[in-house]
Chain A
Amino acid sequence: MSPEEADQLLRRCQQGDEAALAELVRLYQDRLFQLAYRALGDASLAQEAAADALLKVWSKAGQWRGDAAANTWIYQVAVRTVLDARRRRRRWSERWSGALPEAVADGRPEPAEQLARGEHERAREQRLHEALRQLSEEDRVLLHLYYFEDRGLPEIEAILGVGRATLKTRLARARQRLRAQLEDDDESR
């Protein structure tokens, strides 16, 4: 989708065009669901967060003034919603159980899929998954935007509202942790 098309879509959302809502969901649902899943690590939480993010984009579209590109603005709203969902869940969990929830729910593949994979590959994937769990939600969002969506640091900076130097430090730190995990895998082979 070109930046102009995204701008136009958001303008139609501002006017309350119902067809624009359907188009917004069609165009962004996969990306926002994946972003939420990477950050939250749980499919049902991710679904809830993605739906909430799309609702917020729709209902707050009137606040978009064109300072940021439409696509960037949509991601700003979505990332904030996803991270808020995580914070709300943590607060709720602390209040009612007195304990922190699991950092990320189990994202392992289904048993049938597991059987089809090699033992080593599964173990390696699990360790990488474990390393991802150790990262903060913010860092997982950063990795998702950088590695999966191939976004540049200037755009990620605008989406996350974080300075370039902090962003570089966080990216380097997250990368170092994951690489260390991958290297451990090689050594244990």
Chain B
Amino acid sequence: MSPVEPAPACAWALEILLEGRDRLRDPDTARRLTAHLEGCADCRRVQTAERRLARALAAGPLPATPADLLLRVKALVRRRRLLRRLAVTGCAAALFGVAWGLVTVLRLI
């Protein structure tokens, strides 16, 4: 089998192994792949390399999620609401100031 042009069965298996991990949730696909791998050493090598990579990546240290994330998000939500209220109040005050100024000018005229 040439690595450039794999046999159709190998092409299918390689696609599943390298680009379709999620498709293995389908029992028929998983069975078909297992059957192919039993008779194909080339694809088995790819599977081994892929498993090794996934294992190595999963073994890397991952810190625990900070316990106060909810509090942090709630604080961000409150701050956002406050800023919005301030913006609305500021706009209203500015509009009131403009209206007051206009009324004053009109009275003077």
Contacts and interface: CB of A to CB of B under 8 A. Distances in A.
Interface stretch (B3-11, B33-41, B63-71, B95-103): B63-71
Contact of B53 (A150, A151, A182): A182
A6 interface: no
A132 B73 CA distance: 29
Contacts of B57: 128, 143, 147-148, 178
Nearest to A175: B53
A150 B22 contact: yes
A146 B75 CA distance: 32
Nearest to A57: B73
Contacts of A75: none
Interface stretch (A23-31, A66-74, A92-100): A23-31
B21 A150 contact: yes
B108 interface: no
A158 interface: no
Interface residues on A, range: 35 or more
Contacts of A109: 61
SS class, residues of chain B in contact with chain A:
helix
A47 B49 contact: no
A22 interface: yes
Given A30-B65, A182-B53, A182-B56, A54 B73 contact: yes
Interface size class, chain B: 20 to 34
A158 B21 CA distance: 17
B19 A171 contact: yes
A47 B60 contact: no
Contacts of A46: 63
Given A33-B69, A51-B69, A124-B56, 17 more contacts: A21-B73, A29-B69, A33-B65, A50-B65, A50-B69, A54-B69, A54-B73, A55-B76, A125-B60, A125-B61, A128-B56, A128-B60, A147-B54, A151-B22, A171-B19, A182-B52, A182-B53
12 contacts: A34-B62, A43-B66, A50-B69, A51-B72, A58-B73, A107-B60, A108-B61, A124-B56, A152-B20, A152-B22, A155-B22, A168-B19
Interface of A: 21-22, 25-26, 29-30, 33-34, 37, 43, 46-47, 50-52, 54-55, 58-59, 107-109, 113, 124-125, 128-129, 132, 143, 146-148, 150-153, 155, 168, 171-172, 175, 178-179, 182
